[in-house]
Amino acid sequence: MAAATTFSRLIRFLAQDGRVYYGDAILPAGSTSINAATHARLITGDPFSPAHSASPSAPTAAPCTVTTRTAAIARLLCPLTPTTTRTLRCLGLNYAAHAREAGMQLPTRPVLFYKPPTALADPFAPVRVPAVAQESDDGGPPQVDYECELAVVVGRAGRDIAPRDALRHVAGVAVANDVSQRTWQLARGGGQWGLGKGFDGWAPLGPGIVALDALGRDPDDGAGLRIGTKVNGEVVQGSGTGDMVIEGVGSCINKVEFEKDEPAKL
């Protein structure tokens, strides 16, 4: 088998040999779950190196090489790290059903908030709730919440990206957990959401980044991607990209135009 220049399902993992690698997850026959992978093809080079971010008008450079060497997976890690990820830009109230559930008006413009890179965490790591986040204003239990989200990972630098070019700047998509503390987000936030969403480890991501070609469907098809959450086997959240106020993977990139897009940004 020849080496490949692009990945299908990028993972970062602790191998059985005790080393950390980037790899392309090898899925068992008939499976679409990265969690089921026991081995990965090793990747050489940094998938998010600035050397691979040419100007938007330049041809796309191969971000890495997927080799024929394999390694056994001991633990799946967050595919991004705080040292490679400068910004986590998030769109609030971007699911119509969730906005109605919260009793909030649908936005006509993007509701943008940020999480610091230190919020990134491994996909299966425990979420630590610090003492300050265990407070509430009414004496009740802390209002710590979870939200399954579609994360769009930038793979190529650009600014003022035209809608027709947006997908060319996407490395892939991933699953993220937007952990929030509602008291600090709303009552104590002073109008800013970051206080209630930016605690360390409050953005678990992964287990991998799926390239758009590996999705098997048009990522901007509104009915294409399902998003859901289970707690102890019970479905507590079920939605999809068709419920997005700002629809589609490409539109999420195109609508957040206030700063330059760079590799490994979310």
More confident residue, 113 or 19: 19
Answer yes or no: is pLDDT of 254 > 60: no
Answer yes or no: is pLDDT of 222 > 60: no
| Nearest Cα to Cα of residue 176 among 192, 197, 195, 194 | 197
Mean pLDDT of the chain: 83
Question: What does the pLDDT read at residue 58?
Answer: 38
Mean pLDDT across 5-14: 91
Question: What does the pLDDT read at residue 133?
Answer: 94
Mean pLDDT across 54-58: 39
Question: What does the pLDDT read at residue 57?
Answer: 40
CATH superfamily entry for domain 82-254: Fumarylacetoacetase-like, C-terminal domain (3.90.850.10)
What are the backbone angles phi and psi of residue 214, rounded to the nearest 5°? -85, -5
Q: Is the preceding omega at residue 59 within 30 degrees of 0, hence cis?
A: no
Answer yes or no: is pLDDT of 203 > 90: yes
Pull the structure tokens for residue 21.
Answer: 């690698």
Per-domain boundaries in the chain:
1-77, 82-254
Token look-up 């986040």 returns: 133
More confident residue, 161 or 98: 161
User: What's this model's pTM, rounded to 2 decimal places?
Assistant: 0.86
Answer yes or no: is pLDDT of 56 > 60: no
